[in-house]
Amino acid sequence: MREGSAESIQTLSGSYLGPIFRIGKGQRVQVRLKNELPDPTIIHWHGLSIPEEMDGHPRYAIAPGASYEYDFQVINRAGMYWFHPHPHGLTGPQVYYGLAGLFIVSDDEEASLGLPTGEYDLPLVIQDRTFDSQNQMVYLANGMMDQMIGFLGDTILVNGAPDAALDVKADAYRLRLLNGSNSRIYKLAWQDGTPLTVIATDGGLLEAPVTRDYITLAPGERVELWADFSGRTAGSQMRLVSLPFSGSSSGGGMMGGGMMGGSSLPNGASFDIMSLKVGAKSAEAVPLPTSLATIGRHRAEDAVNRNNPRAFTLAMQGMIHTINGRLFEMDAVARDEIVQLGDLEIWEFANLEGGEGGMGMGMMNMEMPHPMHIHGVQFQVLRRQITRGYESAYQALSAGFVDDGWKDTVLVMPGEKVQVLVRFEKYAGTYLYHCHNLEHGDAGMMRNYKIES
């Protein structure tokens, strides 16, 4: 960053993560990316609506030693966005080895609510890693199988630290969670069963708080919690955990890990994420607002393709996860991947893995959830529909979906069809949509779509 207030860049001390940007809506951001890696790289600003040459498409990747100038205005509403590399085939390892950071946007509507700020506003990046005996990160030790499932580490980190423990006051906090993991899905809960109060998702505040017994957070997704410790006694401890879930809806189906994966902590295992030790009360009690923000609701009947949703089939072909039978090609845009600037559309992601679309894998036919991310937009989830026979894996996680607000990444479970309403509002250009299981994306589960003006 060239100039600006000192508060606009925060570092997480002792962490490998990138800095936290804190930016007001409407501000202009100028950043120089200097590539000191031995490989190409480029940065994607996940969730932001910015021109395509700012969005970090892999065709803009720069060579080692080169620089890239970012210069864009932040037009998104308040919310927690993030940034990470996006060179094709290398996103997984580059994020894994530490290239990711948060991009927090504030605006007047949010400021008027008096939500917890300063030390009471805690960004928490959840990731999993595997370390060798020399304490060095190990990536994809199991080769092809890890690649098909996605990387699953055996150590859970929060803001880069294992066994995360935090001292909190007996007051209200805003906990901003990012699942920055390559492929792990978390089933977040408080250890004592206290319901979680959600105030925001990927694209910022909800209209009103909602509660969940647990929250399903897939790679790339964010959720913000209102956590009020004021009723807790000093010295008590809260733990944020990931509850166990099982994924298999048929004998061969594995939701990553299990007997096929190499991780000793498969997807769906149960573990602690962090502990919070409650101290004394210090601040004035901050009440949870009953209403949070205005969300302009898209209506399905206004979509230009309301009778014919744009369909994306996720399926396994050979050893690779595909979208409509295709893999990523740097410059290719198929006819059915072109949309018009300004249009509101229904996009439907249908996860047919393990079903009619999953061919030729025999007992290796994996049924995997896919967190689908669309660049350059925020969308609203319109409908979820689960195919008969796939209910058990679905119901292990579905009560934890928070579809009430703006999203840029949505988890599509095996056998599920998810419809989203998306308007291509601001910029024409070629953007990406892809699976945010980073190993799936790197293997080609990614495509261009083009917004024509």
- Interface ranges with Cu ion (CB under 5 A): 370, 435, 437, 440
Q: How far is the CB of 321 from Cu ion (least distance, A)?
A: 5
User: How far is it, in rounded angstroms, from Cα 258 to Cα 248?
Assistant: 10
Q: Which is nearer to Cu ion, 387 or 437 (CB)?
A: 437
Instruction: Say if CB 123 and CB 102 are below 8 A apart.
Output: yes
Q: How far is the CB of 253 from Cu ion (least distance, A)?
A: 14
Q: Which is nearer to Cu ion, 45 or 349 (CB)?
A: 349
Q: How far is the CB of 437 from Cu ion (least distance, A)?
A: 4
Instruction: Say if CB 46 and CB 220 are below 8 A apart.
Output: yes
Q: Which is nearer to Cu ion, 316 or 451 (CB)?
A: 316
- The residue with tokens 């589960």 is 445
| β-pair partners for 129 | 155
Q: How far is the CB of 209 from Cu ion (least distance, A)?
A: 31
User: How far is it, in rounded angstroms, from Cα 99 to Cα 39?
Assistant: 13
Sign of the Cα pseudo-torsion (334, 335, 340, 343, in order): negative
Helix, strand counts (H, E) of the chain? 5, 29
User: Would you put residue 270 in left (φ > 0), alpha (ψ -120 to 50) or beta?
Assistant: beta
Closest listed residue to residue 172, CA positions, set 288, 276, 280: 288
Q: How far is the CB of 219 from Cu ion (least distance, A)?
A: 9
Q: How far is the CB of 435 from Cu ion (least distance, A)?
A: 3
Distances (CA, A) of 249 to 156, 391, 399, 401: 26, 8, 17, 19
